[in-house]
């Protein structure tokens, strides 16, 4: 039976980053990928935050297959016939880019080829079907009938991780799973720049919520590539199950929204895609390792609804490589030797990200998903009515903006606190009105 020092399962961004880290530490590494090419199974919206990639390949910008520079970011809020957008166009990020749009199929393939250049053996078209164990410790992998022994197996095989499941480390929590359904739509570069108001080579990076997803607590993204627009709709798997919602139908409703359709009209479908992701933080850090095995990337729950799964996956992969190197120095690969993985993770911002992802998704599950529709309505009313009230010259009283603002958030206040808080807000608002009237008399 063949034997290597380390097997990394899955040539997504996590697996390739980990393999590069291992190779640079002189650890003999095999990277196994089920696709006949790295990337052909993978889907993202896809914005790449390049901070981690930059530490691995400083010159990536000149050789990686990247599309546009994401210096025009926006948050959209949609209702059936309405749209609202908060948008930032940053000069500094256009000059010194940190965010890019790209295609996963091309990016992952390139990144795996970088691992190969570092001396990693990349095996494509092989599905890892099980792990080999001995005395409760992982000692290798199975690929159908074939077996490969390894000192350490790194699970970088994504959300459906076979390695994590078979090593007994996996914790399924479907309440944190979302389905993403995506279309890549062809449009000429000049039309894209015109419609989205972009500088040459600049990408629009728009995330948003509301129509047609508010009843299921879904989200959406609109990103531009060089000659295409990627649109993606996300919804919690539990909501799809409970409400019988069809994301493929919702995608058509989304495309027919007046604002969205003004951006993508006359485009042609290039590719249709779908993939599940997890909100992140579902696995506790002490469950990220055990004898002979480490979990990283999406297989270890490193993701969040902020679309930072790729850089966080890469960094967890690098830390896993550090842990393997440390275990090698000790000459043993049991759980105790590999536990430094968690220490290394705590030297980074990843645990903080996991915590935020977890609390944010709890918030989404418990509160925002229930109240998203009312919140959206209130926000729209606030925006439109405050303008109308400003020009309502027939009304001498200052308008109660504090009460209006409170109305937007009142759904999130615990029920018992609601009556006293409402009274307080009304009181402060009245006082504010009185003070403002006085000020108006004295100033004008």
Partner 1 sequence: MADRKPRIDEKLARVAFNIDREAHITVAKESCPGCPGRPCLSACPAENYTWNDENDALVFNYEGCMECGTCRFICPLDAISWSYPRGGFGVAYRWG
Ligand X SMILES: Cc1cc2nc3c(=O)[nH]c(=O)nc-3n(C[C@H](O)[C@H](O)[C@H](O)COP(=O)(O)OP(=O)(O)OC[C@H]3O[C@@H](n4cnc5c(N)ncnc54)[C@H](O)[C@@H]3O)c2cc1C
Per DSSP, the residues of 311-338 read: HHHHHHHHHHHHHHHHHHHHT--SHHHH
CA 377 to chain centre: 26
In whole angstroms, the minimum distance from the beta carbon of 35 to partner 1 comes to: 7
What are the CA-CA distances from residue 415 to residues 87, 363, 372, 374, 399 (Å)?
34, 16, 17, 16, 26
In whole angstroms, the minimum distance from the beta carbon of 155 to ligand X comes to: 9
Shorter beta-carbon distance to ligand X: residue 324 or 337: 324
**Token couple for 94:** 């256009």
CA 345 – CA 317 distance, rounded (Å): 10
Of residues 148 through 167, those in contact with ligand X by CB under 6 A are 156-158, 162
What contacts 96, CB < 8 A, 6 or more positions away?
A: none
Tell me: does residue 375 bind ligand X (CB under 6 A): no
Binding-site string for ligand X from residue 50 to residue 89, where x marks contact by CB under 6 A and - marks none: ----------------------------------------
Residue 348: Cβ-neighbour burial (10 angstroms; 0-12, 13-18, 19+)? middle
CA 76 – CA 88 distance, rounded (Å): 12
In whole angstroms, the minimum distance from the beta carbon of 166 to partner 1 comes to: 12
Binding partner of residue 245 among partner 1, ligand X, none, CB cut-off 5 to 8 Å per kind: partner 1
Alpha helix locations (H) across 37-188? 51-56, 60-63, 91-95, 104-117, 162-166
Shorter beta-carbon distance to ligand X: residue 267 or 312: 312
Shorter beta-carbon distance to ligand X: residue 180 or 236: 180
Shorter beta-carbon distance to partner 1: residue 46 or 406: 46
Shorter beta-carbon distance to partner 1: residue 121 or 273: 273
Binding partner of residue 386 among partner 1, ligand X, none, CB cut-off 5 to 8 Å per kind: none
Binding partner of residue 307 among ligand X, partner 1, none, CB cut-off 5 to 8 Å per kind: ligand X
Query: Near ligand X by CB under 6 A, which window of 5-13, 369-377, 423-431, 434-442?
Result: 5-13
Residue whose pair of structure tokens reads 């393997």 in the numeric block: 324
Binding partner of residue 298 among ligand X, partner 1, none, CB cut-off 5 to 8 Å per kind: ligand X
CA 32 to chain centre: 24
Tell me: does residue 131 bind ligand X (CB under 6 A): no
- 292 by DSSP, 3-state: which? coil
Cβ distance 204 to 196 under 8 Å?
Answer: yes
By residue count, the chain amounts to: 444
| Site residues (vs partner 1, CB under 8 A) | 34-37, 39-44, 46, 103-106, 108, 124-127, 143-144, 159-160, 162, 172, 174, 177, 179, 181, 183-184, 228, 237, 240-242, 244-249, 252, 255-256, 261, 265, 269-276
Q: Which of 39, 37, 4 is nearest to 124 (CA)?
A: 37
What are the CA-CA distances from residue 296 to residues 49, 177, 181, 218 (Å)?
18, 17, 24, 26
Query: Near ligand X by CB under 6 A, which window of 51-59, 88-96, 291-299, 360-368?
Result: 291-299
Shorter beta-carbon distance to ligand X: residue 15 or 212: 15
Among 9, 192, 251, 288, the residue binding ligand X under the rule CB under 6 A is 9
**Token couple for 438:** 């006085």
Helix (H) or strand (E) run with residue 75 in it: strand 66-79
In whole angstroms, the minimum distance from the beta carbon of 194 to ligand X comes to: 24
Tell me: does residue 293 bind ligand X (CB under 6 A): no
Binding partner of residue 375 among partner 1, ligand X, none, CB cut-off 5 to 8 Å per kind: none
Among 44, 185, 245, 324, the residue binding ligand X under the rule CB under 6 A is 44
List interacting residues with ligand X (CB under 6 A).
Answer: 9-15, 32-35, 38, 41-47, 127-128, 156-158, 162, 180, 182, 232, 275, 277, 297-299, 303, 307-311, 313
């Amino acid at each position: 039976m063949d034997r290597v020092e380390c097997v990394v399962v899955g040539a997504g961004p996590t697996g390739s980053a980990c393999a590069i880290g291992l190779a640079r530490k002189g650890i003999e590494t095999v990277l196994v990928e089920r696709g006949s090419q790295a990337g052909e199974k993978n889907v993202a919206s896809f914005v790449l935050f390049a901070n981690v990639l930059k530490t691995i390949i400083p010159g990536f910008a000149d050789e990686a297959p990247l599309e546009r520079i994401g210096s025009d970011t926006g948050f959209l809020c949609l209702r059936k016939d309405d749209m609202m957008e908060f948008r930032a166009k940053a000069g500094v990020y256009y000059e010194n880019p940190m965010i890019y749009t790209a295609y996963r199929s091309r990016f992952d393939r390139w990144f795996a080829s970088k691992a190969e250049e570092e001396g990693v053996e990349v095996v494509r078209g092989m599905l890892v079907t099980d792990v080999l164990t001995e005395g409760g410790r992982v000692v290798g992998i199975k690929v159908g009938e074939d077996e490969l022994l390894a000192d350490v197996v790194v699970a970088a095989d994504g959300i459906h991780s076979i390695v994590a499941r078979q090593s007994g480390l996996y914790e399924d929590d479907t309440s944190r799973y979302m389905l993403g359904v995506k279309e890549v739509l062809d449009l000429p570069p000049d039309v894209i720049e015109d419609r989205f108001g972009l500088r040459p080579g600049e990408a629009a990076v728009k995330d948003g919520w509301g129509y047609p997803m508010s009843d299921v607590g879904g989200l959406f993204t609109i990103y531009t590539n060089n000659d295409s627009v990627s649109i993606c709709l996300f919804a919690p798997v539990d909501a799809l199950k409970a409400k019988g919602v069809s994301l493929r139908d919702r995608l058509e409703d989304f495309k027919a929204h007046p604002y969205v359709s003004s951006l993508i009209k006359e485009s042609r479908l290039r590719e249709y895609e779908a993939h599940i992701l997890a909100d992140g933080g579902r696995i506790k850090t002490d469950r990220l390792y055990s004898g002979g095995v480490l979990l990283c990337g999406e297989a270890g729950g490193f993701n969040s609804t902020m679309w930072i799964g790729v850089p966080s996956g890469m960094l967890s992969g690098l830390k896993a490589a550090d842990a393997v190197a440390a275990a090698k120095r000790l000459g043993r690969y049991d759980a105790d030797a590999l536990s430094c993985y968690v220490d290394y993770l705590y030297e980074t911002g990843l645990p903080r990200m996991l915590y935020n992802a977890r609390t944010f998704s709890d918030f989404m599950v418990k509160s925002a998903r229930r109240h998203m529709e009312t919140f959206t309505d209130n926000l729209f009313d606030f925006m439109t009515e405050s303008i109308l009230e400003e020009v309502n010259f027939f009304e001498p009283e200052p308008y109660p903006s504090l009460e209006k603002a409170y109305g937007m958030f009142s759904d999130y206040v615990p029920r018992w606190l609601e009556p006293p808080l409402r009274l307080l807000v009304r009181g402060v608002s009245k006082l504010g009105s009185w003070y403002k009237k006085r000020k108006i008399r004295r100033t004008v």
